[in-house]
Structure 1
Amino acid sequence: MHVLITGGAGFIGSHVAQRHLARGDKVHVVDDLSTGNRANIQLLEGYPNFRFDHADMLVWDGLERAAAWADRIYHLAAVVGVYRVIAEPTRVLATNIAACERLLRAVTASGWKPHVVIASSSEVYGHRLESELHEQMDLSVSTRAGTRWNYSVSKIADEALGLSYAQKFDIPTVIARLFNTTGPRQTGRYGMVVPRFVEQAVKGEEITVYGDGLQTRSFCDVRDTSRALDMLATKATAEGLVVNVGNDREISVNDLAELVRERAGSDSIIQHVPYVTAYGEDFEDIRRRRPVLDRLRKLTGFEHEHTLEDTLDELIRTSREQQSRENGHGHRSMVCHQS
């Protein structure tokens, strides 16, 4: 099978690529490396069936050829992370909407009908207080989120584009509403909470909880997420459906901080930080985010293979190994930096 992954050097995309290469598929990744990282796909570049293009989806001249080549397309390219969404509100709209529309136009023009998986986000549910979020709910956009609302607006637009092209041009498509995904290769650099907590706990630094910490999230290991996306592409693209993808175990950010500290055996102090201090902009965060996964399970038979504790233990171990390597070369790194 030929697999095209936009944003494939990113945290989730690299795991999707690895999954397909492991079973012998040909994989073509395109990424502008704005939030993706070449290191994420470094090991994959040794596969003879792997190809990488460093390119911007908005202007990439290879898009039409790639769309005509692919049997399956995962559209994961997007501006992500709270820091970047707030810092680059216009780029969020331009990249997330225009890139999706350009991809779908290329698929339509190709005359080929690859199975298309479009990544959306749980943020399209907005500031709802219901204990569970399901696909039949009306979507909500609130200006209480400040310029962060541009991200949910862009994802709602992507969903509308995907479903419209699927209906009008009979493109087999599924919209995957991703809830909080975490695991190996994720960075805390753009505001992702789990890697940030893990790094702080391992280093013995303050664990910084933004806001009051009562907001809840539901974390899914990236390997479970990539497996769910693969299963949906196989089972559900012909349906033209929206499907929640994540884990339905809910945890408050305060409890997550305590859990990370406990698993790491850390003496770090948990410190609460106002949003305006953390991000340079005040906004009202989404309070609850727990998916109903009935549709995913009914369509695919999906079950999780990783617990949150499993994922945290692996991230803590990896963080300790990284810190040990850095400490072992600390003097040399400092000298290089000063020069």
Structure 2
Amino acid sequence: MDALLWLSFGGPDRPEDVRPFLENVTRGRGVPPERLDEVEQHYLGFGGVSPINALNRAAISAVEAELAERGIDLPVYFGNRNWHPMVEDTLAQMAGDGVRSALVFPTSAYGGYSACRQYDEDIARARAAVGDGAPELTKLRHFFDHPLFVSAFADAVRVAAEGLGEYRLVFTAHSVPVSADAASGPPDSGGHRYSRQVAEAARLVAAELGVREYDVVWQSRSGPPQVPWLEPDILDHLDALHGKGVPAVVLCPVGFVSDHLEVVWDLDTEAAEKAAELGMGFGRAVAPSGDPRFAQLVVELVREHLSDAPVRKLSDFPVAGCTVNGAPCAVGCCEPAARAGRRRLD
């Protein structure tokens, strides 16, 4: 292997980028303009800049340092699905630099269409755009059950809970249409299905914390009301917990690897305001991309391919997500967007 490609979602860097970025994300998916207007205001409320690109670059720097410390000579390139640097341009640069084969780290721990198979499509599209001479690309596996991912979240919960006293632990992940979740793994797929992987990651983090009772809820729904999505929604769930007399909550965004705009808006803004309105104590665990263990995790995944390092995982779910040149890893798994529905805007 000649390089590592860090493949992510992308986000605007300037206010004038916001609308074109959102149009890229939702092209061909029937998202109503008023929904784009709403999300555009979220971005503009933060200066028109998504945190995701800066978070990715910081994580890449940490991975580069970890690779160097382990004596692994592997340059890291950065490409996005929806905004600059676009993955097609990055792959062309890689080809021009003489890269012939590379590993790909997608910034999602899970299966599902947008979290997994769409990255396969990104890889295939970028290779087609570059044409002859495009590097061979091997996408790294899912890592929702990796011990470093789990321990980073567990410690983040401990920090978020300081000073709260009694609290309820609530895990959150991006909601998807129920039909999309069903399409994220064939009936006999065991741990391939997105919602099952999220539930397992939550179970593992809670177990490390010694917490026996917790909740898994969903955030960031953006589809039409007549289409069923995974529930309960985090805001509705806070109302329900308040009705049961729960004095405080700690939210753990276990479905995300970084504190990008959807985490900051849905949890630090809307959920925090809801908790304050209800008189509930509130804490939010940070996502792990800035934790040193995250860079160590990425390098461990790389070493599984470079030096046959052991696969470290805490669940009995099957290892999945590793693909070559964008070939889907399982027949009937993670159906395309036309059938599975749209997932996220950041």
> Do both share a fold (TM > 0.5)?
no
TM-score where L is the length of structure 2: 0.32
Structure number with the bigger relative contact order (C-alpha 8 A, sep ≥ 6) is 2
